[in-house]
Amino acid sequence: MTHPIAPILNDEQIQRLNTLAKLGADKVAESLSKWIRTEIVTSSAKAAVMHYSKLTELSPSTEGLSTAILVRVSGSISGYLAFIFDEISTKHILARILRRDIDSLAEWDNLRRSAMEETGNIIGTSFANTLAMNLGLEIHPSSPVMAFDFPDALWDTLLTQYALEGDYALSCQVTFNSPDNMISGIFSVIPDDLQTWKAL
């Protein structure tokens, strides 16, 4: 382990991040609900320290493919906001935004890609604004990027960011669902540098 995490973040700091995760999660659910005109509720929001290999177990599904949308944030704190939706959820989100049935995700045209990236933009900005307002920080979200692929391959790429810091990582995981369970997703905060997030 390069950077032992336990001495970096104590229980009180983890608890503070938990509170922030919950605040941000509620805003994420609210903005996603408005964007896709479907009720979305937060089912869990938790900050935790874990070995990076355990993060893949949080993936919504290891079967089929998933969408990951990444929003880079910079300013007082920096890192990524990652939103991951399984295939069924992706179809339902696109159907709601584009107002048409989505039978297959074999082809990704600009319209579909833009719709998912805008989804990441709306909920990422919402989370970043919540953090900024509550902490008095400057946080600047960038344009989102997305990929549709094996969930483990998406995590494989995201985990490299954690690996730069060591074997253990801070993870703020939020899961959200629609009441009919047709849309569910995971939202994860991936810090660049744990030292700056410690100051939260």
- Catalog residues that contact other proteins under the rule CB under 8 A: 1-2, 52-53, 56, 65, 68, 70, 72, 80, 106, 142-143, 145-150, 152-161, 163-164, 166-167, 192
H or E, element range at 191: strand 184-191
* Ramachandran angles phi, psi of 62, nearest 5°: -95, -10
Q: At its nearest, how many Å lie between other proteins and the CB of residue 32?
A: 21
Following DSSP, what letter does each residue of 113-155 receive, concatenated? HHHHHHHHHHHHHHHHHHHHHHHT--EEE---EEEEE-HHHHH
Report the distance separating Cα 159 and Cα 53, nearest Å: 8
> How many whole angstroms separate alpha carbon 157 and alpha carbon 148?
13
Q: Which is nearer to other proteins, 39 or 193 (CB)?
A: 193
Q: H/E element holding 11?
A: helix 11-36
Q: Among residues 41 and 147, whose Cβ is nearest to other proteins?
A: 147
Q: Give the span between the Cα atoms of 134 and 85, in whole angstroms.
A: 27
**Distance of closest approach, residue 74 Cβ to other proteins, in angstroms:** 9
| Residue 151 identity | P
**Which residue number, 21 or 70, has a Cβ lying nearer to other proteins?**
70
Q: What is the DSSP letter of 56?
A: G
Nearer to other proteins (CB atom), residue 3 or residue 34: 3
Q: Quick one: 45 or 139, whose CB is closer to other proteins? A: 139
> Least distance from C-beta 12 to other proteins, angstroms?
27
